[in-house]
Structure 1
């Protein structure tokens, strides 16, 4: 289980990209599986300096 609320942002970034690469076809699948709000995840990552690249299915640094 991913703890979206308390993870170190660098660790969360790495885990999300690992899950997107190995287990989920896109961010929608990932957030639905974990029961999270996509907008909240995107906002949290954006505040930490990351954006979701849909074509590459991964988060990247701004």
Structure 2
């Protein structure tokens, strides 16, 4: 699956996947073959940060 380029769509898709399919961001990135640091950077650029405690970006 190719992830959306639009940051808001990316935010939505990643949080949905984290909620429904993955116990952690590491697990999602490993399974989807996504660069974790790049993903965090993309979402941070529009104001979202990952919370490991809640397993979501906000």
| TM-score (structure 2 length as normaliser) | 0.90
Following the alignment from structure 1 to structure 2, what is the Cα–Cα distance between the partners of residues 43 and 19? 18
2:17 paired residue number: 19
Q: Which runs of 4+ in 1 moved over 4 A?
A: none
Question: Where in structure 1 are there 5+ consecutive unaligned residues?
Answer: none
Question: How far off is 1:7 after superposition?
Answer: 2.2
Is the partner of 2:34 in helix, strand or coil? coil
RMSD: 1.1
Aligned pair count reads 58
| Alignment partner of 1:31 is 2:10 | no
TM-score normalised to the size of structure 1? 0.85
Could you tell me which residue of structure 2 aligns to residue 2 of structure 1?
2
Query: Which protein is richer in strand relative to its size?
Result: 1
How far apart are residue 40 of structure 1 and its match? 1.0
* Long gaps (5+) in structure 2: none
